[in-house]
Structure 1
Amino acid sequence: MRSLRRGAIALQPAAAIALVYLASRAVTTAFLLGAAALSGPESRFGADASLGTLTMGWDAQWYWLIAFSGYPTELPLDAAGDVAQNAWAFMPVYPVITGVVGWVVGGFPVAAPLVSAAAGYLACLVLFALLRRRIGRAAAMWAVVFFSFAGPMAALFQLGYAESLFQLWLLLALLAVERRRWWWLYLWIPLMAFTRPGVLAFALMLAVYGIWRWTRRAHDDLPPREIGHIVAGGLLAAGCGLVWPVITGVVTGEPDAYLQTELAWRRSWIGDHGGFVPFDGTVQAAVLWSRIWGVPAWVCLVGLATIVAVAALLLIADRRVRRLGVPIRLWAGAYLLYLLAVFFPQSSTFRLLVPLSPLWGAVALPRARWWRIGVLLIGTAAQWWWIYTMYALGSTFAQIP
Structure 2
Amino acid sequence: MTRGLAARAAAVYLALRAVSAVIVLLAVNDQVPVESWTGPDVDYVDMTVLWDGSWYRTVAEQGYPRELPLDPTSGRPSQNAWAFYPLYPLLARGLMGVTGLGFPAVASTLALVCGLGAAVLMAGLLAERVGRRVALGAVAAWAAFPSAVSLQLSYTESLAMLVLCGFLWAVMRQRWAVAAGLALVLGLTRPIALPLLAVVAVALAVRWRRRRECPVSGGEYLAGAGALVACAVSGLTWPTIAWAVTGSPTAYTDTMAAWRAGGEIVPLKPWLWMSEWVFRDYELAGTYGPVALAAVVTTIVVMVCGPWARALGPELRSWCLAYPAYLGLVLDPFTSIFRYLLPLFPLLVVLLGGGWPDRRPRFLGWRTGVLVAAGVVGQAIWVFELLVFVPPSDYPP
TM-score when scaled to structure 1? Answer: 0.88
Corresponding residue number in structure 1 for 2:70:
77
Aligned match for 1:271, one of 247, 255, 262: 262
The alignment partner of 2:76 has SS state of: coil
Corresponding residue number in structure 2 for 1:179:
173
Contact 1:166–1:192 (Cα < 8 Å) also in 2: yes
Deviation at 1:104, TM superposition (A): 2.9
User: Letter of the aligned partner of 2:59 in structure 1?
Assistant: I
Aligned match for 2:253, one of 253, 259, 265: 259
The alignment partner of 1:230 has SS state of: helix
Corresponding residue number in structure 2 for 1:24:
16
Deviation at 1:50, TM superposition (A): 2.1
Deviation at 1:161, TM superposition (A): 0.1
CA 1:213–1:108: 2 relative to 1, 3 Å:
same
Q: Distance in 2 between matches of 1:211 and 1:331?
A: 15
CA 1:40–1:98: 2 relative to 1, 3 Å:
closer
Deviation at 1:314, TM superposition (A): 1.3
TM-score when scaled to structure 2? Answer: 0.89
CA 1:312–1:395: 2 relative to 1, 3 Å:
farther
Q: Distance in 1 between matches of 2:160 and 2:282?
A: 33
Contact 1:153–1:354 (Cα < 8 Å) also in 2: yes
1:108 aligns with 2:97: no
- Residue by residue over 1:225-274, the C-alpha shift from the partner in whole angstroms, topping out at 9 and shown as x without a partner, is 433323221111111211221221121121111111011100xxx334xx
Q: Distance in 1 between matches of 2:166 and 2:282?
A: 40
Corresponding residue number in structure 1 for 2:357:
none
Corresponding residue number in structure 2 for 1:334:
322
1:62 aligns with 2:62: no
- Relative to structure 2, which stretch is displaced further, 179-188 or 256-265? 179-188
Corresponding residue number in structure 1 for 2:29:
37
Return the structure number with greater helix share: 1
User: Letter of the aligned partner of 2:120 in structure 1?
Assistant: L
CA 1:361–1:351: 2 relative to 1, 3 Å:
same
Structure 2 unaligned segments of length 5 or more: list them: 355-360
Aligned match for 2:372, one of 376, 383, 397: 376
CA 1:243–1:379: 2 relative to 1, 3 Å:
same
The alignment partner of 2:258 has SS state of: helix
Contact 1:143–1:361 (Cα < 8 Å) also in 2: yes
Deviation at 1:45, TM superposition (A): 6.9
Q: Distance in 1 between matches of 2:219 and 2:172?
A: 16
User: Letter of the aligned partner of 1:59 in structure 2?
Assistant: D
CA 1:219–1:334: 2 relative to 1, 3 Å:
farther
Q: Distance in 2 between matches of 1:345 and 1:398?
A: 18
Q: 1:350-365 to 2 correspondence within 5 Å?
A: 350-364=338-352, 365=354
CA 1:77–1:316: 2 relative to 1, 3 Å:
same
Contact 1:39–1:48 (Cα < 8 Å) also in 2: no
The alignment partner of 2:28 has SS state of: helix
Deviation at 1:18, TM superposition (A): 2.8
CA 1:41–1:109: 2 relative to 1, 3 Å:
closer
Contact 2:17–2:152 (Cα < 8 Å) also in 1: yes
1:153 aligns with 2:142: no
Q: Distance in 1 between matches of 2:82 and 2:103?
A: 19
Q: Distance in 1 between matches of 2:349 and 2:207?
A: 23
- Residue by residue over 1:120-152, the C-alpha shift from the partner in whole angstroms, topping out at 9 and shown as x without a partner, is 01001100110112111111122222222x211
Q: Distance in 2 between matches of 1:187 and 1:394?
A: 42
The alignment partner of 1:325 has SS state of: helix
Q: Distance in 2 between matches of 1:172 and 1:233?
A: 14
Deviation at 1:46, TM superposition (A): 10
Corresponding residue number in structure 2 for 1:386:
382
Between the aligned residues of both structures, percent identity stands at 34
1:248 aligns with 2:242: yes
CA 1:317–1:216: 2 relative to 1, 3 Å:
farther
Corresponding residue number in structure 2 for 1:5:
none
Contact 1:202–1:237 (Cα < 8 Å) also in 2: yes
- Relative to structure 2, which stretch is displaced further, 329-338 or 377-386? 377-386
1:118 aligns with 2:113: yes
The alignment partner of 2:288 has SS state of: helix
User: Letter of the aligned partner of 2:20 in structure 1?
Assistant: T
Contact 1:347–1:399 (Cα < 8 Å) also in 2: no
Deviation at 1:315, TM superposition (A): 0.7
Deviation at 1:302, TM superposition (A): 1.8
Deviation at 1:36, TM superposition (A): 1.0
Q: Distance in 2 between matches of 1:46 and 1:152?
A: 27
The alignment partner of 1:199 has SS state of: coil
- Residue by residue over 1:178-212, the C-alpha shift from the partner in whole angstroms, topping out at 9 and shown as x without a partner, is 11122212321111110000100111222233334
- Relative to structure 2, which stretch is displaced further, 169-178 or 389-398? 389-398
Corresponding residue number in structure 1 for 2:7:
15
Contact 1:120–1:164 (Cα < 8 Å) also in 2: yes
